[in-house]
Structure 1
């Protein structure tokens, strides 16, 4: 293999905290992709089996650490900064990539040199029941982005130059850092490109932040819309009783 072919094409950051039971699946899905990757695991000082899983994968990792940190967004920025590949993404430790998914994203981004990022479709899988459904994803539109997040984070890939131009994810955010990133990439560089193909899986389980902190997630997302769109569409107010209160009582 030539030195050029051996260079990593994608920097993949895996932020994690007490997700040891899922971490092996996430890492395996990355290393089974057919593109050269450099993978950084940023663990927030887990007390479960995460350290054991990380050490098992350590020979293949570009880097890892396990200590208390400033949260998920800060860990993602830290990991991306350690890398050198021209494309970057992060995969939460409870999600996974579908076979060939990363190649599809890379090909799509290489075919669109002017776009800051591409995103595909993703499945949502409920851990308890195994039920699978499609994550709500649409072709990029400012108007539709203002109504809901139409980009699936585990199914996304960002150009490193674009990432660095906007300063990565906002370290002050804890729930909607991806939604905010899509807005800033769009405002600063241009529209994201939609790939109409399934490339990743979002795992839904009882411990996800979107389930345990629904009110905070909704509030943070609304603040993101207000900041980047100038106002909060009425849909957010109409959907709030169901998205926050009803789902909190009947998850």
Structure 2
């Protein structure tokens, strides 16, 4: 058996209806992986999905924990592969997506992270729209998060140097991580290829807590960039208030 090249933490809580597809997409990649499912004590049938995949998993647990960020750090710390990432249980890889990221990072010896293109997928309709990603620059990162987390792969040495994700953050731990990794090791390598799907459904943390998401993101930009670009203040009312209103109106029956 080949030694694993990638450690993947899969944080999950009551996402059993999505978890099977996420795990299937990982093991279909043809990449030697070690996968740790870190479940927060689900009660929705998640355990049945985990047991189905147990022969292929490097480990799993299911009990209340300190949240998504802590679960990600815990899962990655259990592994030893030279590259790491996490895949939320409601996201999944496109065919050969992880393999393409691995190839890109192996060829870019100085880069701490490789990231590719991704799609948002509406679970209700299956409609896909491209996520806004672009080649890396600190200026672009300060204006918006130009990286879609499911479409990333990280060098373990860089991950360990910045101590993984910040466990005090619950909404934008990935955005904070990109800044830390850039400050530590320089620019990321960008792959112009769709590699992953970010599911968009009513129960995502971003959809439920838009105000908290923006508040955390703005604090991150201010800390690392020194000031907050005006874009954040212009776009915030639309993203927080208007989208929340649309979501509310869709729940009403006329």
Q: TM-score, normalized by length of structure 2?
A: 0.96
For residues 124 and 81 of structure 2, the distance between their equivalents in structure 1, rounded to whole angstroms, comes to 36
Q: Does 1:139 align with 2:118?
A: no
Residue in 2 that maps onto 1:157: 153
When the two structures are aligned, how many residues end up with a matched partner?
247
Secondary structure at the aligned position of 2:117 is classed as strand
Correspondence list, 1:109-124, <5 A: 109-124=105-120
Q: Does 1:89 align with 2:85?
A: yes
Residue in 2 that maps onto 1:68: 64
Deviations 1:27-81 (A, max 9, x none): 0000001110000000001111101111111111000000000000000000000
For residues 53 and 25 of structure 1, the distance between their equivalents in structure 2, rounded to whole angstroms, comes to 10
Residue in 2 that maps onto 1:79: 75
For residues 20 and 103 of structure 1, the distance between their equivalents in structure 2, rounded to whole angstroms, comes to 25
For residues 127 and 27 of structure 2, the distance between their equivalents in structure 1, rounded to whole angstroms, comes to 26
For residues 229 and 154 of structure 2, the distance between their equivalents in structure 1, rounded to whole angstroms, comes to 27
Secondary structure at the aligned position of 2:85 is classed as strand
Indicate which of 18, 30, 35 corresponds to 2:14.
18
Deviations 1:124-147 (A, max 9, x none): 110112111000000001111001
For residues 20 and 132 of structure 1, the distance between their equivalents in structure 2, rounded to whole angstroms, comes to 22
Residue in 2 that maps onto 1:171: 167
Residue in 2 that maps onto 1:247: 243
Deviations 1:172-196 (A, max 9, x none): 0000000000000001111111111
Secondary structure at the aligned position of 2:195 is classed as strand
Q: Which residues of structure 2 form unaligned runs of 5+?
A: 248-254
Deviations 1:80-99 (A, max 9, x none): 00001000000000000011
For residues 98 and 130 of structure 1, the distance between their equivalents in structure 2, rounded to whole angstroms, comes to 14
Secondary structure at the aligned position of 2:84 is classed as strand
Q: Which runs of 4+ in 1 moved over 4 A?
A: none
CA apart distance, 1:19: 0.2
Coordinate RMSD, CA, aligned: 0.7
